[in-house]
Structure formats: C-alpha cells, structure tokens
Chain A
Amino acid sequence: MLRFLLRRFLGAIVIVLLISAITFFLFFALPSEPALMSCGKNCTPDALAVINKNLGLDEPVPVQYWHYMTGIFTGRDFSVGHCPAPCLGYSFSNQQPVWDTIVDRFPTTLSIALGGAVVFLVVGVGIGMIAAAFRGTWIDKFFSSLSLIGNSLQIYFVGVVALAVFVSGLHWFDNPAYYPITEDPVKWFTGMIIPWLVLSIIFIANYSRMTRSQMIEQLAEDHVRTARAKGLGRRTVFFRYAWRGAMTPIVTLFGIDLGSLFGGAIVTEFTFSLHGLGRLAVSSVSETDLPTLMAVMLVACTAIVVANIVVDAAYAVIDPRVRLG
C-alpha cells in the first residue's frame, strides 16, 4: 500500500508540473497584456515598462517559469517588497501576494466541495440502495422519477428558488455565508447548508441511478446468491456482499467527478455570493490577472490530483482484488 501511494504521489508531482508548465506557457507566451490591465486608464509607457519589469514579464517565458516555480519554494522579490514562500506571484490587480488571496479563498471552495460531496454521496448512494432494495415497487419508481427530475435541474435555478423559498419565504435558513470552521463551527455549518444541498442536487441523480443499477447487478451475482443460500441475513447480504461490490464503480465515478465538483462550486459561489477559488478564477480572467489565475489553476489541479490519490487508495481498500503492486 505504501509503495502504491508513493508511486501515485510521484506521478502526481509529474502531472502537476506538466499542467503548471502547460498553463504557464499558455498564459504568458500567448499575446496578452496583463501589465496593461494593471496599469489603469491613464497608463503611460513608463508605468507599463515598470509593471512589466516588476512582474518579470520582460524576461523570456522559460526564465519566467523557472522564477515562478522556484519562487514557490524560496520566495521572490518584487518592487513592492518580498513575497515569502510559498510565493505564487504578486497580483498587481489586488496589490498583494497571490498566496494571501488563495489562502483566504480556498477554505470556502473546500467547504462547498467537501460538504456537497458528503451530501450527494450519502443521499445519492442511499436513494440508489433503497430503490434497488425495493426494485419494481412504487418506492423504486418514485426515487427513479426523482432522480430524473434532479438530473434536469441546474444550480443557478435551484439555488435562486431555494433562496426565495427557504431563506426569504420560510426563514428556515440564514443567507448562505462562509464562516471559518475554526472560528464558529455552528455558523460554518448553517451558512453552508443551502449551498451543499443545491450543489449536491445535480450529482445526486447520477449517483442514485448508478448505485441502483450496480446494486441490482451485484444482487444477481453468484457470490451473493451463494451467501443467501448459506442462510445469511438479508441485511448482511445486502450490505456486506452486494454493497461493497457496487461501490467500486461509484468510487471511480467520484474520482472523475472531482473536477466537475470544482466547476459546480464556481456556479454555487456565484449563486450564493460566496467568495471561493471559482469566483476568484472568473474575476482573474476578466481582469487579466494572470498570476492569480495561474495560482488558482495550480491549486485546483493539485487539489484534484491529491483527491484522486485518496480515491485510488479508497478503491484499493474497498476492492481487495485491485492489485497495488
């Protein structure tokens, strides 16, 4: 297991490095004027030259990339001062090191994504299992229909409706907001309930359908029939034999969905006026704030790669047949 994780970790480093290089060269080698965007409307050639120099944009792109990557570990000096490690560049739009902004925004996105994932995994898998257990009954049909409806909904629609009904109308919840979990866990939880529920809606349908079909398939397997023949209880057969087998593709799907989860978090952030990496990415695009955009890409990519390692490890735990070599 340890060797497997080590191998995956080294592979992850290579992937992150590749993505960082591709992204950096795409952003900084293509014709764009980040300095101009930072320069303001009464920009002068002198001011533009100063910003280009300060941002290191007057150097060849490979050299810029080298400085960028080494700066993550050693820090960098800009005209406005030292950017301590881990330095992900300096944003002339925000007038501060990018890392400070990332640190401020990342917990929001992480809260949305993780909380949403917990909700859709629990609810989606739960519904799928119930539907499989009552296959062909009205319960199955009800949940299958519900999944179909859920699959056709969008965050920006459900979010607005949820706000109008549950926050403004019934006053069941406060306005969604992010509070650091370290400062006030209760507020963190209550502030995130609606975003979690709304974000999870688009995923629940997939997971419930996938779980249902996998469970039905597993329940028809020989080893499950054998377990039943041995006189094991229905619950034991259902959970210990069928469910475990059904989870393998679910975990695989979850690994694939991590990227979509980040995308969903972006829409969720806009819908609920939350400030996470998604909103930061969008505003960085509109402001041509390349250092910030680059950092968001790097952090998001790292997060997804790390999460995939965790998923792979979980996969191995769930299914011993997976050879970790």
Chain B
Amino acid sequence: MRRHDRRAPYAVALAAGALVVSACSSGGGGGGGGGDGKSEGPGEDKTVSANYSIGSAADAAGPAPELPGAKKGGTVTVLQRDAFNHLDPGQIYFSDVLTSQMLYNRSLTSYKIDEKGRVKVVGDLATDSGTSSDGGKTWKFTLKDGLKFEDGSPITSKDVRWGIERLYAPFETDGPLYIPQWLNGDGNAFRKALPDGPYQGKHLPSSVLDTPDDKTIVFHFQAPHADTPYATAMPNIGAVKAEKDGQRKYDNAPFSSGPYKVGSYKVGKSLTLVRNEHWDPKTDPIRHQYADRFEIGFGHQFADSTRRFLADQGGDKNALSFSNGVAPEMTEKVLGQQDTKARRLLEVQPYVDYISFNTTRLKDVKVRKALAYAMPNGQILQQNGGASAGVVATNYLSPAMDGYRPTDPYGKKDKPAGDPEKARALLKEAGKEGQEIVYAYANTDVQQKVSVVVTQALERAGFKVQKKEIDSNTWRTSISEVGNKFDIYRTSWGADWPVSSTVVPPLYDGRQIADGAQNYGHLDDPKVNAEIDRITRITDVKQAGAEWQKLADRILTDDVPGVPTFYNRLFSLWGSGLGGVKYHPVYGTVDPTGVFVK
C-alpha cells in the first residue's frame, strides 16, 4: 500500500518533489533515456506483462552476471533530497529507502532486473521464489547455503523467523504488513497473536509460521495468496539477528546481510555504507560489490543535485541519486547538454496521480463522468513539470503494472485538455448544470497552479467550483476522513509490487472505507467487492493481472470514483564517472546494486 507523496516544502524555498512509498513499475533499462519525451523503457504505449515473471531456482543462483567494464574500488556519492526516515528494514516503505536497503539487506525473494529492464522475482535469501501447497495457502522457502551476517555468523531460518515476528511488536508501525496480516488477520488484528513481538521469548505457533530446521521457513496463511513471492520481496521479510536487535535502536544500526554494511550514520544528515566482507557473491543473484563505499548525503534539493550532475566536476563525477529527479526548470539544459545523453534515464514509474471524486457527496454517476471528461490531464501534468515528470494517464493502472493495457475510456490521449462539450452534455442530461463542486487541494506551489487549470476546465464544462486550500501538512489526513466535506481532491498511489492486487483492493474495495484508509472516493459497490474477491482467489498471477485491468476499467467507466491524471516518471541524471547505473522498475528509482566507479 505505497503512497506517492509530494512532500510539503520546508519553510525555505524548497521545490516540491516526489516522496514515494514503495512501488512497482514497467521494466526499463536505465541509461541513455531519451530526452524527447518518449520513455526509452517499455513505457506507456507498450504491453509490459512480458516484462514480469517468476524466476526459477536457476535464476536465484549467484553470482550476478559481471557487468562489462566494471571495476572494483572507489566511492559512490549519493545526493538525496529527503533524509531516510528509517534504516530498520521492518519500517521501510518509501522508495528511496527501499532502494538503499538493497545494499545492506536481503529478503527471502527479490527482483532480478536484466539489461532490458525485464523483471524476475527470484530467491534472494531463498533458493527459489517459494513453493506453494494447500491451494496457495501454504508457502515454503528454503534458505541458501553460505548466507552470513556482517559478523560472519550464519543466517538461519530462526533469524528469518525473528525478522518476521518483530513486525508484531508495537513499535513496528511504518513498514508493509502483508505477511503478518496474511498469517494472523487484517488491520492491526494480527498483533494480538504476538503483542510484544519475539522480545518476551514467545513465538508464533508452527501452525502459522514454521521453521522445522535451520534452512526451512513455512508460512501457513489464512487464505490463498498467489503473489506471495512478491510479498516476500518486501524488505521486512528477511533475517534479523536477535542479539543485534536493539528494537527501536535497530532503526539507526541495522545488521547487514547484504554486500554493504553501515559504516556511519548521522540521522538526517548522512549515511556511509562500506563493504561487508562476509557477503558471499556466490549466494546473490542480484547484487554486486564494485564500489568500496557509498556516501549518501541528505538535504540536496533537485536543483542542487541537478547542478552538480550537470557540472560533472571532481567527486561529483562519481555521484548519483536514487530518487532525485532532474529539476523541472533545468530539464532543457540537461537535454541540451550532449554529454548527458549517456548518463540519464527517463522512465515511467509505478505511481499514478488521480483526482478522486467523493461518491458519498457526488451520488450521480453522470456528474462524476462529466468531471472525468472535463479534467484537463495534460495541463495538470504540465503544472507538475511536463513530459519529464510524467505521462498523461488514461486509466487507473500504471503502465508499470503486470497486465496493463492502454485503455482510454475518456479519450485523454486525444483530448488531454479535457472534453468540456461532452461534460456539459452529461451535466445537462443529469439536470445538474451549474453543479457546485468543492475542490480541495494542498497549499503547495504545484497544487496551487494545478488548482487554477482544474478550476478553469471545470467551469468551462459548466461546473461552479469552490476551492478549498488545505495546509499541506494536514492535507492527507483531511482527505482521508470518510466524512470530509470535499467533492474532489488530488490523490496518488503506487503499487507495492507489479500486481494490481496492491492497487485495486486498497483504492476501490468498499470494505476498506475508513478514516485514514485509501479508498478516497468511498466507492462501495457490491459488484466490485465481489469481483475483487474473485480475482484475489486466482492462483495464476499473470491471469490475475489481466483481470485486475478489466475490473479497474469497469470501475472507471461505470462507477467513476475518480479520474487518473498522469503516470509519474523519473528523469534522472548522474555523474560521468559511474557505470552500471540502471533503473529499478519496481521501486521507480535508480538501482545501485551494479554501480561501479569507472
């Protein structure tokens, strides 16, 4: 359930940018991304289902293939805007931190991305992506040989059990909770099974989570879950050594199982990752250990990092950013500078921006359809940074999703500025000409600009718009209230993995309507709920992908609890001294696992 936020600017003239809570995406090879507004990766106009697959045991075998021209040594500088909110893998959910944890943390499964951007879910700590039985309710994983923590001690199934059971502790509140919830119940109900986590010597019964030997982990879920290999790729489904688990303090001192370990960490300021000599490349099909160290610095605005990458001087030649995009005002300069061609990428991310319609207040579906037709997607995108910031959205699902099809029920490709005539006709048909719309938006520079184009477009279509500016710090809380007094508001969403089971249910399942939940349009359609249940039971993830797309389209055409506005993009630049930089389609960030200093 990742969100894609645009953090409110701090007080001092800061540009708003994307803060992302986990994601999935279309494959796209990094490097050399086009500057012509067309994604180099399998982006918006391509069927991307072929990019995703579940890997075999052979795919899980290490080492990762050597990269041409790769060398060992050197320091990679990473310029990040936002400080990492967590290092504890149990608490990690934002995309920038998800990316960094790949360097020091390994999960049961993970994403193996080839040079063409194709994604395979493969065993990481595990020998494969898991074997299921009992109709998909039971999943078994076997650990590889030779796995070690940073102190050289072996990683066993007990450590994985500990890593999972600590998610039940009261302080573990920020990370994804799929596995605990599938094991012991939705919401926070699962915590009752182990209220203190493993810290008081108690454990989950073997009928729920079993470790019959040092190599085997068995999950007994309450219901079938075909996408378990994806869920076990979340960072918190890995190994934590009990003796090193400082509970809350683990957030500043995680114990590494990956190719790098924490050298020094100054919260909010910098993080240095150094080589972990006990990491064995033969056990790892995904990561390399080319650079000696990663020096990650926080507080670098997009303009600052872009300026430094462009100048490409001194230590900045070996600099990149996981998630800082090119500053919109510097896009032309980047595109115009020829030497950046080989060191930039432009890729569709798994995040979608929407304008949600409050179906509790806007009960007439014709009015909602009129709003959907009237919405000026192209202009909204323009205010967010234009082609380098995204692509006009045509349906609810991102091109980054397995099973995505470029359906366009409201003709947004042809009419990105909206279709006021059609909207007007629908309003007339509904007898709602001059319908008043309460439009809420966050008080940020970008959203203020967006509010202007949205208001103008809706008024052209015959609506009367009443704008409500909300403080950006309380905006998400305000729109998440079921009883909110707004008709339409901007929302956003990113899938946790490239299967729409992490998009459609949280956004459109009527049983998930609650304060703080993400069914922002308050859609509660029994037919939709039943369809969600049916698709959830499909054991073939590929088949489910196509079904989710059909359902998402049906919701968009029949229920209209909102309209998608644009698919987010990452336009990234890095220094000329680095090789092996690629795009991580699932996280929507730059993938550091193969980076080397030339």
**Which residue of A40, A101, A168 is within 8 Å of B307 (Cβ)?**
A168
Chain B hits for A285, CB < 8 A: 11
Contact A168 B310 (CB under 8 A): yes
The answer to whether residues A156 and B173 also contact, given A101-B267, A168-B311 and a CB cut-off of 8 A, is no
Given known A-B contacts A168-B311, A175-B316, A273 and B12 have beta carbons under 8 A apart: no
Residues of A within 8 A of B10 (CB): 270, 282-283, 286
State A271–B249 Cα separation when bound (angstroms): 31
Query: Which residues of B sit under 8 angstroms from A242, Cβ to Cβ?
Result: none
Point out the residue from A175, A267, A275, A280 that lies within 8 Å of B308, measured CB to CB. A175
Contacts A40-B174, A156-B12 given; indicate if A96 touches B267 (C-beta within 8 A). Answer: yes
* CB 8 Å contact bits of B179-193 with A (1 = contact, 0 = none): 000000000100100
Residues of B within 8 A of A286 (CB): 8, 10, 473
Within 8 A of A (CB), among B10-34: 10-14
Inter-chain contact A282/B170, CB cutoff 8 Å? no
**Bound Cα distance A44, B303 (Å):** 39
Interchain CB contact under 8 A, B297 and A44: no
Judged by a CB distance under 8 angstroms, whether A146 is at the interface is no
CB-CB nearest in chain A for B176: A42
Q: Pick the contact of B13 from A44, A105, A270 — CB < 8 Å? A: A270
Give the number of residues in B that approach A within 8 Å (Cβ atoms).
Answer: 42
Question: Within the assembled complex, what's the spacing in Å between the Cα atoms of A274 and B266?
Answer: 13
For A267, the chain B residues whose CB sits under 8 A away are: 12
Known: A44-B191, A160-B303, A286-B473. A171 touches B12 (CB 8 A): no
Besides A282-B11, A283-B268, 5 other A-B contacts (C-beta < 8 A): A41-B173, A42-B173, A47-B171, A104-B266, A283-B10
19 A-B pairs, CB-CB below 8 angstroms? A40-B174, A41-B173, A44-B170, A46-B170, A46-B191, A47-B171, A95-B252, A95-B267, A96-B249, A96-B252, A96-B267, A156-B13, A160-B303, A175-B308, A175-B316, A279-B299, A282-B11, A283-B10, A286-B8
The chain A residue sitting closest to B298, CB to CB, is A275
The contact string, 1 if C-beta is below 8 Å from chain B, for chain A 165-199, is 00111010011000000000000000000000000
Q: Is B304 interfacial (CB 8 A cutoff)?
A: yes
Establish whether residues B268 and A280, one from each chain, have CB atoms under 8 Å apart when the complex forms. yes
**B204 on interface, CB distance cutoff 8 Å:** no
Tell me if B300 is interfacial: C-beta within 8 Å of chain A: yes
Q: A83: which B residues are within 8 A, CB to CB?
A: none
Q: Is the CB of A163 within 8 A of B268?
A: no
Is there contact, CB below 8 Å, between A168 and B91?
Answer: no
With A40-B173, A175-B308, A282-B11 in contact, do A273 and B188 touch (Cβ < 8 Å)? no
CB-based contact A95/B303 at 8 Å: no
Tell me whether B311 and A167 are in contact (CB under 8 A): yes
* A87 within 8 A of partner (CB): no
A50 adjacent to chain B (CB < 8 Å): yes
- Please name all residues of chain B whose beta carbon is closer than 8 Å to the beta carbon of A279 when the two chains form the complex: 299
Residues of A within 8 A of B308 (CB): 168, 175
Q: Which residues of B contact A (CB under 8 A)?
A: 8, 10-14, 83, 91, 93, 170-171, 173-174, 177, 188, 191, 195, 247-249, 251-252, 266-270, 297-301, 303-304, 307-308, 310-311, 313-314, 316, 473
Q: How far is the CA of A275 from the CA of B297 in the complex (A)?
A: 10
Q: Roughly how many angstroms separate A94 CA and B314 CA in the complex, as a whole number?
A: 32
Q: How far is the CB of A283 from chain B (nearest CB, A)?
A: 6
Cβ of A39 under 8 Å from chain B: yes
A29 proximal to B (CB < 8 A): no
Bound CA span A80–B274, Å: 27
Q: State how many angstroms separate the Cβ of A265 from the closest Cβ of chain B.
A: 11
Of chain A, the residue at the smallest CB distance from B247 is A80
Question: Which residues of A sit under 8 angstroms from B195, Cβ to Cβ?
Answer: 46
C-alpha spacing A94/B195, complex, angstroms: 24
For residue B539, give the distance in angstroms from its CB to the closest CB of chain A.
Answer: 28
Task: Please tell me if the beta carbons of B249 and A80 are within 8 angstroms of each other in the complex.
Answer: yes
Residues of B within 8 A of A283 (CB): 10, 83, 268
Distance between Cα atoms of A96 and B266 in the complex (Å): 10
Cβ-based interface call for A164 (8 A):
yes
Q: Which 8 A-B pairs have the closest CB atoms?
A: A40-B173, A168-B311, A40-B174, A47-B170, A270-B12, A94-B267, A275-B269, A42-B173
Contact (Cβ within 8 A) A163 B174: no
Q: What does the 1/0 interface line of A22-50 toward B look like (CB < 8 Å)?
A: 00000000000000000111111011001
Q: Does A309 contact B (CB under 8 A)?
A: no
Chain B residues with Cβ under 8 A from A282's Cβ?
Answer: 10-12
> Is B249's CB under 8 angstroms from A95's CB?
yes
- List A contacts of B248 (CB < 8 A): 80, 92, 95
Q: Does A266 contact B (CB under 8 A)?
A: yes
Closest to A46 in B: B170
Chain B min CB distance to A119 (Å): 21
A286 (CB) vs chain B CBs: closest residue: B10
The smallest C-beta distance from B320 to any residue of chain A, in angstroms, reads 15
Q: How far is the CA of A42 from the CA of B517 in the complex (A)?
A: 11
Complex-state Cα separation, A303 to B378, whole angstroms? 52
Over the window 67-96 of chain A, the binary record of Cβ atoms lying under 8 Å from chain B Cβ atoms (1 yes, 0 no) is 000000000000011000000000010111
CB distance from B300 to the nearest CB of A (A): 5
Question: Shortest distance in angstroms between A314's beta carbon and chain B's nearest beta carbon?
Answer: 31
Residues of A within 8 A of B297 (CB): 273
User: Which chain B residue lies CB-closest to A78?
Assistant: B248
What are the residues of chain A within 8 A of B11 when measuring CB–CB?
Answer: 282, 285
**Most chain-B Cβ atoms within 10 A of its Cβ — which of A42, A44, A105?**
A42
Q: For the complex, what is the distance from the CA of A47 to the CA of B170, rounded to whole Å? A: 5
Which residues 241-286 of A have a CB within 8 angstroms of B?
266-267, 270-271, 273-275, 279-280, 282-283, 285-286
Shortest Cβ distance from B21 into A: residue: A41
**CA separation between A43 and B300, bound complex, in Å?**
30
Q: Are B473 and A273 in contact (CB under 8 A)?
A: no
Write the chain B residue with the least CB distance to A289: B268
Whether the pair B300, A273 counts as a contact (CB closer than 8 A) is yes
Point out which of B268, B297, B300 has the most chain A C-beta atoms below 10 A from its C-beta: B268
Least Cβ distance of A163 to chain B in Å?
Answer: 6
**How far is B9's CA from A285's CA once the two chains are assembled, in angstroms?**
12
With A270-B12, A273-B297, A282-B12 known as contacts, the answer to whether A42 contacts B174 (CB < 8 A) is yes
> How far is B174's CA from A40's CA once the two chains are assembled, in angstroms?
5
Tell me the chain A residues, 96-121 only, with Cβ under 8 Å from chain B: 96, 101, 104-105
Quick check: A41 and B174 within 8 Å, CB to CB?
yes
| CB closest chain-B residue, reference A45 | B188
- Distance in Å: Cβ of A178 to nearest Cβ of chain B: 10
A175: chain B residues at CB < 8 Å are 308, 316
For B188, the chain A residues whose CB sits under 8 A away are 42, 44
- Contact check: which of A47, A81, A167, A270 meets B173 at CB < 8 Å? A47
| Residues of B contacting A274 in the complex (Cβ-Cβ under 8 angstroms) | 299
How distant is the Cα of A279 from the Cα of B13 in the complex, in angstroms?
Answer: 13
C-alpha gap A199/B387 in the complex (Å): 36
Say whether A95 contacts B251, CB under 8 Å.
yes
Contacts of A171 in B (CB 8 A): 313
**Whole-angstrom distance between the Cβ of B90 and the nearest chain A Cβ:** 11
* Nearest CB on B from A303, distance (A): 20
Taking a contact as CB atoms under 8 Å apart, the answer to whether B313 and A168 are in contact is yes
With both chains docked as a complex, state the minimum distance between the C-beta of A34 and any C-beta of chain B, in angstroms: 14
Closest chain-B Cβ to A80's Cβ sits at a distance in Å of 5
Do A163 and B177 form a contact, CB below 8 Å, given A266-B12, A270-B13, A286-B10?
Answer: no
Residue of B nearest to A48 (CB): B170
Within 8 Å CB of A164, what residues of B?
307
The distance from the CB of B17 to the nearest CB of chain A, in whole angstroms, is 14
Whether A104 pairs with B269 at a CB distance below 8 angstroms is yes
Interface core residue of A95, A105, A169, A271 (most chain B CB under 10 Å): A95
CB of A174 within 8 A of CB of B314, answer: yes
Q: Which chain B residues border A156 with CB–CB below 8 Å?
A: 12-13
Chain B residues positioned under 8 Å from A105 (CB to CB): 269
B310 to chain A, nearest CB (A): 7
**Once the chains are docked, how many angstroms separate the CA of A271 from the CA of B10?**
12
